[in-house]
Amino acid sequence: MNNSKTSDNSKNNPKVKLLITLLIWIAIIFCISYVRGNNSVAISWNGSGMSAKDPSGQTYQINFGDTDSMKLISVSDYGNAAGGSQNPSYRWGLWKNDAYGIYHIYAASKTDCCIVFSTNDGYVVVNQDTADETRNLYDYLKQLFDENGYKISVS
């Protein structure tokens, strides 16, 4: 009988309850992270272009030889998904708005500026996780265009 009371006391112990609750939350967070996978948009570049990889693993290639212009803008309206997707942090794939019609986007939703490329395939919008990182990418790309002789209008 004494063991029974000890067992009951451990179930009512606030520290044990807290520990069990924490373990359950850690398991839930781990499972959600595992199921959702990587939830970011990755931008990478090489000598001839730039790649945008979305959270599903799809990659979109921007060939600088097929790019007419690049500009840094403030974001006012991303529009709506037109086959693209989003999570709380990022938007990717095909979207539609009044300014660009149907366009490709690979961008952090909370960043208030983005880089817009006008290409032979239409518009492509990208940014980084912060406005400063986006401006740094824009400056780097301007330098890259100059150094490699790309005839891209920059504004």
**What 3-state DSSP class applies to 12?**
helix
Does 4 have pLDDT greater than 70?
no
Q: Are residues 46 and 103 in the same domain?
A: yes
Q: Which of 22-31, 32-41, 145-154 has the highest mean pLDDT?
A: 145-154
Tokens standing for residue 78: 């991303």
Q: Are residues 51 and 8 in the same domain?
A: no
Question: What's the distance, Cα to Cα, between the start and end of the chain in Å?
Answer: 82
Over the chain, what is the mean pLDDT? 82
- Write down the pLDDT at residue 5: 52
Q: Are residues 19 and 54 in the same domain?
A: no
Q: Which domain holds residue 56?
A: 42-154
> pLDDT, tens digit, for every residue of 103-119?
999 999 899 999 999 99
Q: Are residues 31 and 97 in the same domain?
A: no
Query: What's the whole-number mean pLDDT along residues 48-65?
Result: 86
Q: How many domains does the chain have?
A: 2
Q: CATH number of the domain that 120 lies in? A: 2.30.29
Q: Are residues 13 and 57 in the same domain?
A: no
